[in-house]
Structures are given as C-alpha cells and as structure tokens.
Amino acid sequence: MPDADDTHELFRKSCLRFAEEKIIPHVIEWEEAGEFPRELYNEAAKDGVLAASIPEEYGGGGGDMLHSLVRTEGLLPCGSTGVVAGLGSLGIALPPVMILGTEEQKKRFIPPVCRGEKVAALAITEPGTGSDVAGVTTRAKKDGDDYVISGSKLFITSGVRADQVTVLTRTSEDKHSGLTFFIVEKGMKGYSVSRALKKTGWWASDTAELAFDEVRVPKENRLGNEGSGFVALMQNFQGERLGLAFMGHATAEVVLEDAIAYSKERSAFGRPIAGFQVTRHKLATMATKVLAAKTLNHSVARRVLAGEYLVTETSMAKNFAAQVAQEVCYEAVQIFGGMGYCRETRVERLSRDARLLPIGGGTSEIMNEIIAKGLGL
Ligand SMILES: Cc1cc2nc3c(=O)[nH]c(=O)nc-3n(C[C@H](O)[C@H](O)[C@H](O)COP(=O)(O)OP(=O)(O)OC[C@H]3O[C@@H](n4cnc5c(N)ncnc54)[C@H](O)[C@@H]3O)c2cc1C
C-alpha cells in the first residue's frame, strides 16, 4: 500500500517470505488435520513475525499497531486464515495485560508468549452471551487472597492448546463496571477444555469451549482493579476489529489474484475465459472493491496510529471489508467453476474462511449499531 512506510513494507515482505517458506508447503495437510504444529509459534518468534507490535522490553518486535496489521497482509497468501488466526491469538490475548497489568504481570505473562513457548487466548464469549459482551456470567468470587472462577466460555481461538487464557469475568452485579480480567493458566485445578469445535472455515485454528469449575486463581493473576475490565475490553476490540478488517481486504486481494491468473489460463469455447467480457467486468468490479476496502482500512489504521480513537470508522472499516471479502470470494469461486469448489484451491478455502468476518469480533449488526450511534441516531 503506498502509504505504508519502509519498515511496514519490509515487515510485510518478511511475513510473506515466512508464509511461502514455512506455511505454504504444508498448508493443505494442516487444514485437513485441523491444526498446525506448535513449533510454528517458535519458528514465527525466531523469524520475528509472531509478536511484532509488543514492546521489545517484553520480548516483542517493538513495532506499532500497523506492523501487526500488515502482518495479516503478508501471511494471508498462505491460503489458511486458520493458521493466521491461530498464530495471531496473542494479538487479542495480550493487550489486556499491556493495558491493565502491573510491571510484574507484564514480565511474567508476555515474554514466554512472544518467544513462542506459550500459547495465549482471549475468552470473552460464553454459551449464553456473545454480542452482549457485558452480559458475561462467568463469576470470579473473592475468597481470602484468591478468587474462585466458575462458568464457561465458547468459541475461543487457540483455546484447546492455550497455556494461558485472558478471561473476562463478573466480579459484581453492575453490568459494565462489574467486569474484571484474570489470567487463568493451564493446569489450574478445575480449568478444562470441554470440547474442540468443528467449523465452516478456519480449520487449522483450534476453537474451544472452556470450563471453569471453581478454579482457584491467586489475586496476582487479576489484571487491574476489580471492575476495570469493560474499558480495557472496548480498547481491545478496536485492535481486533481493525485486524479483522485487514483480514477482509487481504483475503479478497489473494482470491482476486488467483481469479485473474485462472481466467487467463482456463479456456472455454476456444478462448481463455478472460476473453469473455462478463469475466473481465467481474474482475474489474472485484479489483475496485478490493482497492476501496484496502484504502479505507489503511486510512483508518493510519489515523488510529496517529492517536485518534475512531470507534465509528473502525466499525465501518470492519463491515465494509467483511462484505467485500464475501462478494469477491463468491465471484472468485464462480470464475474457478468446479475447481473453486475443491479444497485444493485457495479460493475454496478462503471463501469458507471469509464467512467468519461478519460474525467474529462483533457482528455486522452490532457494528451498524455502533455506526448509527456515531451518526447520532
Ligand atoms: C471461529 C470463531 C472464533 C472466535 N474467537 C473468539 C475468541 O477468541 N474469543 C472470544 O471471546 N470470542 C470468539 N468468538 C466469538 C465471536 O466474537 C462471537 O461469535 C460474536 O461476537 C457473536 O456472538 P454470538 O455468536 O453469541 O452471536 P449472538 O450474539 O447470539 O448473535 C446472533 C445474531 O443476533 C444478532 N444480534 C444480536 N444482538 C443484536 C442487536 N442488538 N441488534 C441486531 N442484531 C443483533 C447478531 O448480529 C447475530 O446475527 C469467535 C467466534 C468464531 C465463530
């Protein structure tokens, strides 16, 4: 993208190289297996593509928020959003530690994840509440110096193999100011993975339901004061939603590239299918939509990076890119014909993966509610 400076462009290229060398040769196998090897976290850490936006003092790459966004652009050509999302779960799990944690907690919970030694996940959604995030019922009850956590969480990315989970709990009845984050660690008594979920897409990313059966957690694992969770959650959502917006235009860009190449190779009625005006016009419209989504996303990201708090625009970017991804993936599959329905093609995999975009991180309907509020409605 023209407005990305050299460090972002260089970083996007290193991520692309990582995708080409370390992911693409195995991607179909990992998709079918429903997971990628744990060692990939270590390799990504060694190659500097795991924790780009975390400060160096905590083991990250010391980049800014745009580095983690262009990372998605660099990795997505691997053709598995599941790998990108699985490797990226620290991007939503660690910000609450960065925002609310003490120095001691940051030193304890962040560096092992940045080194790829521990996997981190974020657990907000519950079987009984998703869009209404402040409706969480997983309870943390104070008991001496500890808290006892009971409840369950659903759809947790990297939840099956997470070593530490940033969990949103209820510490008082007040809807918004009764929410508090804790770090729950693998091995704590009463904490377990109830099941791994089978999904439409994101096959290589594990997605879990988690159970908390009176898990005793020391107060040293509480992030911030009691009741500080909601504000940190809202801040975290901004990063997550921009990340999903970038996933949208990056997905659309990859399938567009494949569709253009295929339209030149594939012949019907004695000519390449790109020779039919209907195909060319389809591709022209797809390319226009990709450019519009990418331009909007980069513009919002740049302004956020400059210090603006853009809740409305971030929701617009997420919705627009999610919609563009659906439309461009649909047409790419159509251009591929039968091959677009076969798992060996990127367009097939990415078109399934893209269906998550209007759902995850806040649905399109919830984004529209936020946008309407921003319009004073
Ligand atoms: C693959 C995957 C990975 C995920 N990863 C994580 C994760 O790592 N951590 C985590 O905490 N969560 C995660 N999620 C959960 C995700 O954020 C939720 O699925 C999402 O927020 C929607 O919640 P829900 O599924 O409960 O839908 P619901 O809230 O039940 O919504 C159902 C429908 O009702 C609509 N609706 C609800 N309220 C309104 C309203 N006020 N106005 C209009 N329409 C409304 C919704 O838009 C939707 O269409 C993941 C989900 C998936 C599928």
Both 223 and 314 in one domain: the answer is no
Both 71 and 85 in one domain: the answer is yes
Both 209 and 238 in one domain: the answer is no
Exposed / middle / buried, residue 59 (Cβ in 10 Å: 0-12, 13-18, 19+): buried
Q: For residue 70, what pLDDT is reported? A: 97
Q: For residue 5, what pLDDT is reported? A: 72
Query: Beta partners for 156?
Result: 208
**Cα separation of 198 and 213, whole Å?**
24
Domain boundary among 206, 227, 248: 227
Q: Considering the domain boundaries, does residue 1 fall inside one?
A: no
Ligand 1 pocket check: which of 155, 161, 241, 370 to mutate, most ligand atoms within 8 Å of Cβ?
155
Domain that holds residue 109: 6-114
Handedness of CA 152, 154, 157, 160 (dihedral sign): positive
Strands 164-170, 120-123: pairing kind: parallel
Ligand 1 pocket check: which of 153, 363, 373 to mutate, most ligand atoms within 8 Å of Cβ?
363
Whether 240 is catalytic: yes
Query: Beta partners for 223?
Result: 181
Q: Residues of the chain with pLDDT > 90: what percent?
A: 98
pTM score, two decimals? 0.97
Both 159 and 237 in one domain: the answer is no
Both 235 and 365 in one domain: the answer is yes
Both 244 and 332 in one domain: the answer is yes
366 lines ligand 1 (CB under 6 A): yes
243 and 88 in contact (C-beta within 8 Å)?
A: yes
**Cα separation of 130 and 291, whole Å?**
32
Q: CATH no. for residue 22? A: 1.10.540.10
Q: Is 234 left (phi over 0), alpha (psi -120 to 50) or beta?
A: alpha
What's the 261 CA to ligand 1 centre distance in angstroms? Answer: 36
239 lines ligand 1 (CB under 6 A): no
Domain boundary among 181, 198, 227: 227
Nearest CA to ligand 1 atom 2: 155
Both 14 and 79 in one domain: the answer is yes
Residue 172, CA atoms < 13 Å, CB-side half-sphere: 10
Q: Which of 185, 156, 155, 152 is nearest to 169 (CA)?
A: 152
Handedness of CA 36, 38, 39, 43 (dihedral sign): positive
Q: CATH no. for residue 205? A: 2.40.110.10
- Domains in the chain, number: 3
Provide the greatest CA pair distance for the chain: 79
Q: Which of 223, 149, 154, 240 is nearest to 191 (CA)?
A: 149
Q: CATH no. for residue 367? A: 1.20.140.10
**Cα separation of 288 and 252, whole Å?**
11
Both 71 and 106 in one domain: the answer is yes
Q: Which of 31, 73, 209, 240 is catalytic?
A: 240
In which residue ranges of the chain is pLDDT below 50? 1-3
Nearest CA to ligand 1 atom 12: 125
Residue 183, CA atoms < 13 Å, CB-side half-sphere: 25
Both 98 and 173 in one domain: the answer is no
Both 108 and 139 in one domain: the answer is no
pLDDT digits (tens, 9 = 90+) for 334-349: 999 999 999 999 999 9
Give residues with Cβ within 8 angstroms of 208, minimum separation 6. 121, 156, 159, 160, 162, 193, 194, 195, 196, 197
158 lines ligand 1 (CB under 6 A): no
Q: Considering the domain boundaries, does residue 65 fall inside one?
A: yes
Both 106 and 124 in one domain: the answer is no
Q: Which of 48, 63, 50, 51 is nearest to 8 (CA)?
A: 63
Both 338 and 278 in one domain: the answer is yes
Domain boundary among 84, 114, 144: 114
What's the 362 CA to ligand 1 centre distance in angstroms? Answer: 6
Q: For residue 373, what pLDDT is reported? A: 98
